Amino acid sequence: MEEQNQNEERIPHTLDAAQIAEILPHRYPFALVDRITDFEPGKWAKGIKCVTINEPFFQGHFPGYPVMPGVLLLEALAQTGAAAALSLPENRGKLALFGGVKSARFKRQVVPGDVVELTCELVEQKGPVGIGKGTARVDGQIAAKADLIFAITDAKE
């Protein structure tokens, strides 16, 4: 991620839910990032997802034993990376679409009351296609991590 001089303090770049909605097209119930806590456009982003029992997916996953679906953790990581990619001026108004998921691993269940810390670093990009390395943590423990392949495209294509 970002290196900085030991003598200078960096002020985090943050985005609230309304600002995220200006960049990402996702809306309820698929807006899965509550806040971007810091980011560098085109490079990386950190965010949070506050998981509550009121999430619509808990109605069926699983009654009596609510666990956030792993695919939605991956989607939250992808949205975090998309916030970094789509915050570049040349990408405003575009979409970041999933192209694939590599090396996904789930290490810890995410349950109501958890605050998921999301990190996605955009490590490679060739033209519109790139790879983001994402990690989701709860209380410092890895819940999920994956390499996410994405494609930046115009919304009309």
Q: What is the CA radius of gyration of the chain?
A: 15
Secondary structure E strands in 7-140: 35-40, 44-50, 94-106, 115-126, 129-138
Q: Give the C-alpha separation, 133 to 120, whole Å.
A: 5
- Mean pLDDT over all residues of the chain? 94
- Are the C-beta atoms of 106 and 143 separated by less than 8 Å? yes
Report residue 155's pLDDT band, with 50, 70 and 90 as the boundaries.
confident
Phi, psi of 145 (to 5 degrees): -150, 150
Active-site choice (26, 43, 61, 108): 61
CA angle 71, 110, 19 (to 5 degrees): 70
List the structure tokens of 142.
Answer: 């890895």
Model pLDDT for residues 24-43, shown as the tens digit of each residue = 999 999 999 999 999 999 99
Q: Which fold has domain 17-154?
A: Thiol Ester Dehydrase; Chain A (3.10.129)
Q: Is 13 a catalytic residue?
A: no
Q: Give the C-alpha separation, 130 to 150, whole Å.
A: 5
Return the domain boundaries, the chain.
Answer: 17-154
Ordered DSSP codes for 97-131: EEEEEEEEEE-S---TT-EEEEEEEEEEEETTEEE
Three-class SS of residue 95? strand
Q: Does the pTM exceed 0.85?
A: yes
Q: Give the C-alpha separation, 7 to 155, whole Å.
A: 43
Model pLDDT for residues 113-135, shown as the tens digit of each residue = 999 999 999 999 999 999 999 99
The answer, yes or no, to whether residue 99 has pLDDT greater than 60, is yes
